[in-house]
């Protein structure tokens, strides 16, 4: 009888200890009780921080969606509102806001050699070092790509196509247009036929091209925002 009672007590103790250990464990990510939480969780709403539901803004979030059709500051002449998955045909309506002068073409050549030549080759025939090893690199000297617009080239640089990955994060909009000008005017030998603006229109390109692009894509232009 005594031995049986001892077994019961021993088993009960083991169960009690096991339950206590699991009950006190809140997981490895638990930070415990926070001291003076008002020092960390400011009552004021902060755009880049979300502690609790915002009772004022729609969607109950501190961050707000930018006003419809707003354009980041400094991007008015290059913003085109063409989604990544949209048809490339819409990109044909884009106009290059730059002029094909010697300086722009020289800068376009430097950018091409830096970001494109390793795949497309020095003459754009798709025979760069990468193109020789991995097939499927576009031949910029082909009839199909010679007929392509600079807007098409700009769109492909931005979002990629086929085996080519997007380069929008590596070259800014102005640099993409310089590359497009170099490809058209130098590699493909289109000359002045590819120049979208020239003469007196060059002065107005930087300020009015944003309007032209918006009209071409069917999206109204709006005031710039931060």
Q: Are 96 and 196 in contact (CB under 8 A)?
A: yes
Q: Which of 14-28, 42-56, 101-115, 125-139 has the lowest mean pLDDT?
A: 14-28
pLDDT in tens, 170-187: 998 899 999 999 999 999
pLDDT of residue 48: 82
Total-model pTM = 0.55
Count of all residues that appear for the chain in the document: 226
Half-sphere exposure of 141 (CA within 13 A, CB side): 10
Tokens 């913003």 belong to which residue?
79
Residue 87, token pair as written in the block:
């048809």
| CATH class of segment(s) 71-225 | mainly alpha
- Let me know the angle formed at the C-alpha of 17 by 12 and 21, rounded to the nearest 5 degrees: 150
pLDDT of residue 197: 37
Q: Where are the beta strands (DSSP E) in the chain?
A: 71-72, 224-225
pLDDT of residue 129: 92
Residue 182, token pair as written in the block:
């170099």
pLDDT in tens, 55-82: 888 888 888 888 887 777 766 656 666 7
Q: Is the pLDDT of residue 12 over 70?
A: yes
């Amino acid at each position: 009888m005594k031995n049986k009672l001892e077994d019961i007590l021993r088993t009960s103790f083991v169960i009690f200890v096991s339950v206590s250990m699991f009950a006190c464990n809140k997981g490895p990510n638990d930070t415990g009780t926070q001291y003076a939480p008002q020092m960390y969780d400011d009552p004021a709403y902060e755009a880049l921080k979300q502690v609790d539901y915002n009772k004022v803004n729609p969607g109950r979030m501190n961050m707000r969606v930018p006003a419809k059709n707003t354009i980041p500051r400094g991007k008015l002449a290059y913003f085109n509102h063409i989604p990544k998955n949209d048809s490339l045909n819409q990109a044909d309506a884009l106009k290059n806001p730059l002029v094909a002068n010697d300086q722009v073409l020289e800068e376009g050549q430097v950018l091409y050699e830096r970001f494109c030549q390793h795949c497309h080759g020095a003459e754009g025939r798709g025979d760069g070092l990468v193109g020789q090893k991995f097939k499927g690199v576009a031949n910029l000297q082909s009839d199909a790509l010679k007929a392509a617009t600079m807007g098409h080239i700009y769109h492909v640089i931005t979002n990629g196509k086929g085996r080519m990955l997007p380069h929008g994060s590596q070259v800014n909009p102005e640099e993409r247009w310089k590359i497009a000008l170099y490809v058209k005017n130098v590699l493909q030998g289109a000359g002045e036929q590819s120049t979208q603006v020239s003469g007196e229109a060059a002065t107005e390109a930087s300020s009015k091209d944003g309007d032209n692009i918006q009209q071409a894509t069917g999206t109204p232009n709006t005031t710039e925002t931060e």
